[in-house]
Structure 1
Amino acid sequence: MINLRHIFLGLLVGACMLCNQNVNAQGDLDFDQVLKAGAEDANTFLGEYISPFAKGFGYGMASGWYNTAKTHKSLGFDLTVTANLAKVPQKDLLFNFIGSDATVSKYNNLRLVGGGSANLPTIFGGETSEQLQTSYTENVNGTDYTVDQTFDAPPGIDVEDFGGYVPVPMVQLGLGLVKNTDLKIRYIPTQKSEEDGYEVGLIGFGIMHDFKQWIPGLKQLPIDMSVFVGYTKLTTDFDLSGSDITDDGTASYNVNALTYQVLVSKKLSVLTFYAGLGYNSVSSNLEMLGTYEIETDDPLFPLILEDPVHQNFDSSGARATLGMRLKLAILTIHGDYTIQAYNTISLGVGLSIR
């Protein structure tokens, strides 16, 4: 069977370089059961179930780029390790299975046992006692075959195991170039799990430039001011071929996070206070490729689904950051808070020279 809850938990833990996390969920998202409802219903269900993961990871990736608006001198550099913690809002712990109009279902073949409408947990929701039912007839080459099953609605990962946050750590290098311009590179080495069949890697690039130097009226102000643009990409691949329903199945999950910001900071002795105002654009996509065989009432004639899942998640909006950095010789320690769709705490430590 294809256990998507374990796949995304593996991604969460692997990308965050966490080990041996205990996750308090009382069930699993066995996606072969959801696939029995057909590709269209599977896409609809998965889109709502996974959406908070896509948003939380994306907003975490867009954060933690800076801890001052002051750029390095030429060939100056900093090396920083940052943990970005994106808070999952309460409203995204559940989704309405039917929708605002309980008389119009979002699904063709998937129903709640007992009918009606209910809030079901997303991937970060809690437990549920609801059950789902798939019951329909499909005609294959002139013969009707029935798909009929009832299964427990899947619970989510208990986000409280992570303090209520989606953790996204970064290792980042900043390098001073010319004309008060910094190049920033962030990186997570590729993490692989043979047991869970996934690998994940991350890379990102950013440019920070001191614009105050070009505006005569601002040059004399006793503060630092910069503009910043940063892009981060997460790439993952999953091997699903060990499942009971596919011999060649694969899945990929990719996230792109782009942020534009105006930064300002003020240094007072060993403390630097900084702020940023800007905009995020986050997009991600999930694909399940390959051939999947879905059982019917006649085991000799399974339904065949080809490349059944293609899901895109997009989120964008304004952001505002306030933070403080302590610098002792070349050691830096910083923390900030960003107000955005998923409010984010960033904590980091690093080395900074010139």
Structure 2
Amino acid sequence: MKKTLLVASFLLAGGFAAAQSNVNDLLAAGLNDAERFTNDYLSPVSEGTIFSLSGSWLNTATAKPLGGFEISIVGSMAGFKNKEEKKSFVLNTADYENLRFEDGSTSKSVATALGDIEGVRVVVEDENGFFSESFELPSGLASENINFLPAAYIQVGVGLVKGTEVKARFLPKIQTDDVAVSLFGFGLLHEFTSHIPANRLFPVSISGFIGFTQLNGSYDFTDTNFIDGENQRIDTRISGWSFQAMAATRLPVINFYGGLGYVTGKSDTDVLGTYTVTSGPFQTTYEDPFSINKQASGATATLGTKLKLGFFRLHVDYTLAEFNLLSAGINFGFR
């Protein structure tokens, strides 16, 4: 289960993977209730993934000269261990058509896809109260001791005209029997200090950057048999823009860099396939039942260091944002 959750969290399907055993129960509450709950449940993991994917573009503010290049293997973690407000949400039964708490409460905190609240039971009943069925709401990644959202990719930077560098990042499509994921992105760095006369004598580089990243993921859970139906899967598209102003030292071996930025992005998650509900008061079949959309944005502040030993480089940095991001990379470059 933990392996499934970790892989699925990277796809944003992680929240739904944690809840997949409750698919029949959630849809038994009716389509509107299932969509409302799933939206609130997945919203924080969508937001965290947007910040995770949009970061870690830069490890210097110095643009490479014409023909210079750097190839990097980058990994990052967006942590949420102390983000209690992202690990739960208040479920108010007044917002639902057919759902109530088993203990009679009208509202209480329940787990999001990042959370660890367990044992919360709800009841689904028809409008006349003649038929009811109870089930437990799903918990989230923290209940499996997973407190971060991971990202990893290959990144390339190539120097163009004076002071300008183009960047690209990608993760080749990885596919198993039930999971497929790929990533691509592109960016442009311009070093303003390259226009200063005798800029090589200036010990600090200052630059601006804009970058775009998109993750495409699919999680097929037809074979789990948690609910009758066919072609049951989640398709996810997460994209984010990053805007940064960066400054960095220009020393031979060890350098330090920092900057301020802004991230904005969106995620679109489609629940696809046919789902035949066989319990509860609303037994029916749904086709491509609903989609979940989330937008997120916010300011960022980054501080990091880079070690350069000829062709080989290492860097590590930390970004303060709505979801704080720890990144590290191994780099191979020329000039």
TM bucket (normalised to shorter chain) is: 0.7 to 0.9
C-alpha RMSD of the superposition: 2.9
Equivalent of 1:115, from 104, 125, 140?
104
Letter of the aligned partner of 1:55 in structure 2? E
Q: How does 1:149-188 map to 2 (within 5 A)?
A: 149-158=133-142, 161-162=145-146, 164-188=147-171
Task: Give the whole-Å Cα distance in 1 for the aligned partners of 2:118 and 2:279.
Answer: 27
Q: Rate the CA distance shift 1:114–1:66 in 2: closer, same or farther, 3 A.
A: same
Task: Give the whole-Å Cα distance in 2 for the aligned partners of 1:171 and 1:133.
Answer: 47
Equivalent of 1:309, from 290, 311, 334?
290
User: Who is 2:273 aligned against?
Assistant: 290
Task: Give the whole-Å Cα distance in 2 for the aligned partners of 1:297 and 1:53.
Answer: 29
- Is the aligned partner of 1:78 residue 2:61? no
Task: Give the whole-Å Cα distance in 2 for the aligned partners of 1:297 and 1:202.
Answer: 40
Counting helix residues as a fraction of each chain, which structure ranks higher? Answer: 2
> What is the TM-score when the length of structure 2 is the normalising length?
0.88
- Is the aligned partner of 1:202 residue 2:183? yes
Letter of the aligned partner of 1:290 in structure 2? G
Task: Give the whole-Å Cα distance in 1 for the aligned partners of 2:138 and 2:280.
Answer: 24
Letter of the aligned partner of 2:294 in structure 1? F
- Is the aligned partner of 1:339 residue 2:331? no
Is the deviation greater in 281-290 or in 216-225?
216-225
Equivalent of 2:116, from 126, 148, 151?
126
User: Who is 1:247 aligned against?
Assistant: 230
Task: Give the whole-Å Cα distance in 2 for the aligned partners of 1:115 and 1:161.
Answer: 30
Letter of the aligned partner of 2:181 in structure 1? V
Equivalent of 1:258, from 241, 246, 266?
241
User: Counterpart of 2:141 in 1: which secondary structure?
Assistant: coil
Task: Give the whole-Å Cα distance in 1 for the aligned partners of 2:67 and 2:145.
Answer: 41
Task: Give the whole-Å Cα distance in 1 for the aligned partners of 2:21 and 2:54.
Answer: 28
Letter of the aligned partner of 1:331 in structure 2? F
User: Counterpart of 2:94 in 1: which secondary structure?
Assistant: coil
The question of whether the paired residues in 2 share the 8 Å contact of 1:172 and 1:184 is answered with yes
- Is the aligned partner of 1:94 residue 2:88? yes
Aligned residues: 326
The question of whether the paired residues in 1 share the 8 Å contact of 2:18 and 2:141 is answered with no
User: Counterpart of 2:301 in 1: which secondary structure?
Assistant: strand
| 1:237-290, Cα deviation, whole Å (9 max, x unpaired) | 233444432223332111001111111111234111111111100210111123
The question of whether the paired residues in 2 share the 8 Å contact of 1:147 and 1:295 is answered with no
User: Who is 1:324 aligned against?
Assistant: 305
Structure 1 residues not aligned, in runs of 5+: 16-24, 99-103, 139-144
What displacement does 1:329 show?
1.2
What displacement does 1:212 show?
2.8
Structure 2 residues not aligned, in runs of 5+: none
Task: Give the whole-Å Cα distance in 2 for the aligned partners of 1:147 and 1:203.
Answer: 49
Task: Give the whole-Å Cα distance in 2 for the aligned partners of 1:130 and 1:122.
Answer: 12
- Is the aligned partner of 1:58 residue 2:50? yes
Equivalent of 2:204, from 199, 208, 223?
223
The question of whether the paired residues in 2 share the 8 Å contact of 1:83 and 1:348 is answered with yes
What displacement does 1:305 show?
2.1
> What is the TM-score when the length of structure 1 is the normalising length?
0.83
Task: Give the whole-Å Cα distance in 2 for the aligned partners of 1:267 and 1:217.
Answer: 14
What displacement does 1:220 show?
7.1
Q: Rate the CA distance shift 1:187–1:129 in 2: closer, same or farther, 3 A.
A: same
Task: Give the whole-Å Cα distance in 2 for the aligned partners of 1:135 and 1:254.
Answer: 35
The question of whether the paired residues in 2 share the 8 Å contact of 1:184 and 1:205 is answered with yes
Letter of the aligned partner of 1:264 in structure 2? A
User: Who is 2:8 aligned against?
Assistant: 11
Letter of the aligned partner of 2:28 in structure 1? K
What displacement does 1:62 show?
0.9
Letter of the aligned partner of 1:324 in structure 2? T
Task: Give the whole-Å Cα distance in 1 for the aligned partners of 2:249 and 2:130.
Answer: 69
What displacement does 1:296 show?
5.0
Letter of the aligned partner of 1:267 in structure 2? R
Task: Give the whole-Å Cα distance in 1 for the aligned partners of 2:279 and 2:108.
Answer: 27
Q: Rate the CA distance shift 1:248–1:73 in 2: closer, same or farther, 3 A.
A: same
The question of whether the paired residues in 1 share the 8 Å contact of 2:50 and 2:238 is answered with yes
Task: Give the whole-Å Cα distance in 2 for the aligned partners of 1:216 and 1:106.
Answer: 64
What displacement does 1:198 show?
2.1
Percent of aligned pairs with the same residue?
29
